[in-house]
Structure 1
Amino acid sequence: MTSAFPVQVQLFATLISAVLVTGYVLSRRRRSWSRDWKTGKPTIGTRSNRWFDWERASLRSFNMSKEWSLEGYRKFGRFNSPFIMPCVDRGPVVIIPPKQLKTVYGLPDKVLDMQKTSTDGSMQAKYTIADQGVVSRPFQMNIVRNQMTRNLDVLTPVIAAELEASFARLWGTDRNKWKEFSVWDSCLDLITGASNAAFCGEPLCKDAAFLKSLRDHGMITFLGALLISSTPLFFRPVTGTLIGWACEYQFLRTKWLCLPFIKKRLANTARARNDPNFCWEAPVDGLQWLIEESYATQDPTDLDPVRVTRRLLYINDISLHSTSFTMQNVIPDIYTYDGGDDGEKNTNTLVEALREEVSTVLAEAGGFWTRNTLQKLKLVDATVRESMRLTPFASVGLPRTVIDPHGISLHSPGGKFHIPPGTVIATALDGIHRDPVIYPSDDDPNCFNPFRDAPQFKSATSLDDGFLAFGYGRHACPGRFFALNEMKIMVAHMVLNYDIEYVGKRPELTSVVWLKVPYHQGKVRVRRRQL
């Protein structure tokens, strides 16, 4: 299981640096932001009385955003004060303190925009997705939000079966021989196959070439979007076009691997709708729901096989890498957990507790995973939640753009804090998740402890102003129930069937602007358990 991830990351990092330096030298200004609204407001990351202070701070934000967000949270956010932080891809961003999250993120969509902020910012969909119909009418998100969640009773056994087969194929079944590999590569392989067992079913979910192509497409899309966002406005069409070509090239590679299958599914669906004597049972999976939604629009172009393919890839793009990122951190969190009262390493405490819970629950269910059975895995759920708390996918998250023409006003100890239209707001995930006031137990909030809330364990899908890994409010992650189900099955199968040792020191995550880049160096040794 090898991956080109590190090479591609280095390539993109080099391109980002070259474009940024060139752009700033040529333009000397990133944007013509008005300075007036920022005057006198709490700010982090800038250095006063210097030429082009905000522009230079924006450049530094490329690798300083995590540090700045934590520093700003300690100085201002904890005391219910919003603060401003320079950001190379979004300009001056206002960071919302936790006590005001409910009020601010409860504002209507006509005041705060989420959809366009995500497509234009996080994904740069104008450039990375060639078919803008997929962006302007993103009903594929309804598939994730509605059908995938409502049908977890049907999808759970399918995901469990695919994960079991994938573990046997990738991790092996030898009880006497240890196998070593990259945690990131392995998690991405496992999650991609399991997810597509629900997204499109066999044979695609078992096609190694198709699954690899999906992974590469998602990586190019998001790293490319980061490069485009970080480019000065006047130069953005150039980088956008170049990245768009790369995304489309990868899409075409993926399309030819799955197009015959999608055409056949479309043909069977059309015949079944028109011929009551046609003996064909429609599969229960994401692709079929995409096709049914495409019929519902009454727009013939939505039934074009290529457009259906794009929508299928869109679902993969937003789910595979985020779920794999979480599992990449869950594994070392479990297997390097220090549960000894005397401070000595004791990795068996958590592993044995998880095994006991999993084996008990699975035995009561007759050896088969169902949605209801998974809901009984309270410690497994709490373990995933605690890992996501300690290592969210970004140091700053939940971006929204103020679109009300009058702007919005927040409370601040220094007086009214007005935010003009066009400004991006966000919140400091790392700061909130590590706040000792929000997590006031005797345990250090900077340490991993899945027993933190015992015996009343909290689910990772239960969101509040102290846990934001899956988002917050009505625009929280639509696929969180599906993703958590998948991760719980993965943890359960892993602890029950394998001995695992984390190899060497756990690598540090690399922060790029707001995001945390997965590490390739982390490795584990595994072997099938002696039962």
Structure 2
Amino acid sequence: MKKLYNLPEKVLDIFKTANNTIQADWTIWDPDVSENLFQTNLIRNQLTKNLDILTPSIALELEKGFEREWGTSKTEWKRIDIWISALNIIAGAANSAFCGEPLCRDPEFLSRLQIHSVFVFLGSLLISSTPKPIRFITGYLIGWSCYFLLNRVIKICLPFVEERLHHNAMLKADPAYSWVPPKDGLQWMIEECYAMGDPSQLNPRRIIHRLVFMNDISMHSTAYTTQNVILDLASADPSLGYIEALREESARVLREAGGKWTRQAVAKLHLIDSTIRESMRMTPFNSVGLPRTVVDPHGISVQQGNSTLQVPRGTVVAIPVEAIHYDNSIYPDAMSFQPFRFSQPGAARNIVDAFDSTPGGDGEKPKPRSSATVDEAFLGFGFGKHSCPGRFFALNEVKILVANMVLHYDIEPLKTRPKMTPIIWLNVPLFNNGTVRVRRRELVELL
């Protein structure tokens, strides 16, 4: 697997394959937004590199999001839709890093972002499932819907972006100009536009489109992970004390950090890290994932045991994610949710060793790793040199979210865990029966 997924792009393509998956020609419109690695590099470099700066504001928006979505009553239970509340909480927190205030607290802006993201995701599925002879009809209808929804987002945040561009232009013209550039994704995006030396990149509509695209590719996957962590914890046997253990760890780490979440403090949430990884293992977004297209005219040769398989050009290769995640020879009692499976020293190494001992394993012995680290036995964030570039940012965000959740709320146990809805190779989030009752709890004994 490692050799296959580290082949160069001229041999095994990911970018056009990914754009075809989301039907970017119809749903994104601007090829410079969908094909340029601008956003990917911004997420991989600036957002990850500046997590020290971004973490406090992300934590604050997560706390406000919980109060808004889950309530503040310490006496009454409130039934919440896990998917909707997770999406709303994540949207505000992520955009505190992407564009900052006031947009990250503007409910109309966040709502329009979410609607656009849903249309891109569901629309691409609909286009892909339409027979090719009439696909242009579906593509046309979905495409214009996405364009209309994009313009609704642009309308609400255009004045904000134009003002930011004005301040940047003034500062470029006069270094003594009285304005301090904020540290957020939008600012780094504008600075990168200047560095490219292409005036068209400074078009405010294109900048907003890039901002929307960053939300499209990150918001739902993060909310999906959040929903599954909540469902897994709520449906686990209460006598096992999983939530209590997470609560104790969160309280201790937060106390040691002086009551404020920092990147360094978040890195100490080892039990939460393991819980997230186990939840992602149990319910991956794709049953089959990591699609790549063979583009080398001569095809590629894949070693399978003692035989060699010749894969011709144009073939899409993928990995059976669920088959690996549910393999009892790799994960003992694989169908059982064990949130602390990865928390023991050497646990990740042992799991990868088990994978390497199976037919087709690469035989290497990597070091133990966190949830953000990818390997052949855990494919929640992809694999190889094109693993999810936003995984460090997303994991940092979800770890704070889970810590806030167990510290501030009681969750009524579920008798059974609701199942996700499988559509083709995807596991689609629950919209109807994914609910749980929650209640605000006292914190006096924790801090």
The reply to whether TM is greater than 0.5 is yes
Whole-angstrom CA distance in 1 between matches of 2:412 and 2:31:
46
Q: Does the CA contact (< 8 Å) of 2:165 and 2:190 recur in 1?
A: yes
C-alpha root-mean-square deviation of aligned residues, in Å? Answer: 1.4
Whole-angstrom CA distance in 1 between matches of 2:192 and 2:336:
45
Q: Secondary structure at the match of 1:180?
A: strand
Shift of 1:208: 0.5
Match of 1:67 in 2: none
Q: Counterparts of 1:192-203 in structure 2 under 5 Å?
A: 192-203=91-102
Q: Does the CA contact (< 8 Å) of 1:503 and 1:525 recur in 2?
A: no
Q: Secondary structure at the match of 2:412?
A: strand
Match of 1:494 in 2: 405
Question: What is the letter of the counterpart of residue 374 of structure 1?
Answer: V
Match of 2:275 in 1: 383
Whole-angstrom CA distance in 2 between matches of 1:336 and 1:526:
13
Whole-angstrom CA distance in 1 between matches of 2:92 and 2:122:
22
Q: Does the CA contact (< 8 Å) of 2:66 and 2:89 recur in 1?
A: yes
Within the candidate set 277, 301, 315, 1:409 is matched to 301
Question: What is the letter of the counterpart of residue 288 of structure 2?
Answer: V
Shift of 1:493: 0.5
* Pair 1:484-2:379 in alignment: no
Q: Does the CA contact (< 8 Å) of 2:15 and 2:35 recur in 1?
A: no
Match of 2:239 in 1: 346
Q: Secondary structure at the match of 2:339?
A: coil
Match of 1:331 in 2: 230
Within the candidate set 120, 135, 139, 2:38 is matched to 139
Match of 1:226 in 2: 125
Q: Identity over the aligned pairs, expressed in percent?
A: 53
Match of 1:112 in 2: 12
Shift of 1:216: 0.8
- Consecutive unaligned residues of structure 2, counting only runs of 5 or more, are 348-368
Question: What is the letter of the counterpart of residue 346 of structure 1?
Answer: S
Match of 2:339 in 1: 450
Whole-angstrom CA distance in 2 between matches of 1:413 and 1:274:
63
Q: Does the CA contact (< 8 Å) of 2:371 and 2:395 recur in 1?
A: yes
Whole-angstrom CA distance in 2 between matches of 1:149 and 1:303:
23
Q: Secondary structure at the match of 2:176?
A: coil
Question: Which has the larger Rg?
Answer: 1
Match of 2:158 in 1: 259
TM-score using structure 2 length? 0.91
Once the two structures are superposed, residues 26-70 of structure 1 have per-residue CA deviations (whole angstroms, 9 ceiling, x without a partner) of xxxxxxxxxxxxxxxxxxxxxxxxxxxxxxxxxxxxxxxxxxxxx
Shift of 1:227: 1.5
Whole-angstrom CA distance in 1 between matches of 2:231 and 2:420:
13
Within the candidate set 410, 413, 418, 2:310 is matched to 418
Q: Secondary structure at the match of 1:127?
A: helix
Question: What is the letter of the counterpart of residue 380 of structure 2?
Answer: A
Q: Does the CA contact (< 8 Å) of 2:236 and 2:413 recur in 1?
A: no
TM-score using structure 1 length? 0.77
Whole-angstrom CA distance in 2 between matches of 1:185 and 1:432:
30
Within the candidate set 427, 432, 438, 1:526 is matched to 438
Q: Does the CA contact (< 8 Å) of 1:503 and 1:522 recur in 2?
A: no
Once the two structures are superposed, residues 105-124 of structure 1 have per-residue CA deviations (whole angstroms, 9 ceiling, x without a partner) of 1211111000111012x211
Match of 1:396 in 2: 288
Q: Does the CA contact (< 8 Å) of 1:332 and 1:502 recur in 2?
A: no
Question: What is the letter of the counterpart of residue 14 of structure 2?
Answer: M
Once the two structures are superposed, residues 240-294 of structure 1 have per-residue CA deviations (whole angstroms, 9 ceiling, x without a partner) of 1111001011111111111111111111111111112211011100111111111
Whole-angstrom CA distance in 2 between matches of 1:158 and 1:350:
28
Question: What is the letter of the counterpart of residue 137 of structure 2?
Answer: V
Shift of 1:506: 2.9
Q: Counterparts of 1:74-223 in structure 2 under 5 Å?
A: 101-120=1-20, 122-223=21-122
Shift of 1:503: 5.1
Whole-angstrom CA distance in 2 between matches of 1:232 and 1:409:
31
Q: Does the CA contact (< 8 Å) of 2:12 and 2:294 recur in 1?
A: yes
Within the candidate set 256, 259, 266, 1:364 is matched to 256
Moved more, 473-482 or 227-236: 227-236
Question: What is the letter of the counterpart of residue 227 of structure 1?
Answer: L
Q: Counterparts of 1:31-50 in structure 2 under 5 Å?
A: none
- Consecutive unaligned residues of structure 1, counting only runs of 5 or more, are 1-100, 339-344
Q: Secondary structure at the match of 1:416?
A: strand
Shift of 1:135: 2.2
Shift of 1:524: 1.2
Whole-angstrom CA distance in 1 between matches of 2:37 and 2:343:
40
Shift of 1:138: 3.2
Match of 1:91 in 2: none
Whole-angstrom CA distance in 2 between matches of 1:135 and 1:510:
28
Whole-angstrom CA distance in 1 between matches of 2:239 and 2:175:
63
Q: Secondary structure at the match of 1:411?
A: strand
Whole-angstrom CA distance in 2 between matches of 1:436 and 1:358:
31
Change (3 A) 1:146 1:516: same
Q: Does the CA contact (< 8 Å) of 1:503 and 1:523 recur in 2?
A: no
Q: Does the CA contact (< 8 Å) of 2:232 and 2:417 recur in 1?
A: no
Shift of 1:530: 2.8
Shift of 1:505: 3.9
Match of 2:171 in 1: 272
Change (3 A) 1:301 1:464: same
Q: Does the CA contact (< 8 Å) of 1:217 and 1:250 recur in 2?
A: yes
Question: What is the letter of the counterpart of residue 301 of structure 2?
Answer: S
Once the two structures are superposed, residues 461-491 of structure 1 have per-residue CA deviations (whole angstroms, 9 ceiling, x without a partner) of 1211000000001100000000000000000
* Pair 1:474-2:385 in alignment: yes
Q: Counterparts of 1:276-355 in structure 2 under 5 Å?
A: 276-338=175-237, 346=239, 349-355=241-247
Whole-angstrom CA distance in 1 between matches of 2:64 and 2:34:
35
Shift of 1:136: 3.1
Q: Secondary structure at the match of 2:307?
A: coil
Q: Secondary structure at the match of 1:455?
A: coil
Shift of 1:358: 0.7
Whole-angstrom CA distance in 2 between matches of 1:151 and 1:467:
26
Q: Secondary structure at the match of 1:257?
A: helix
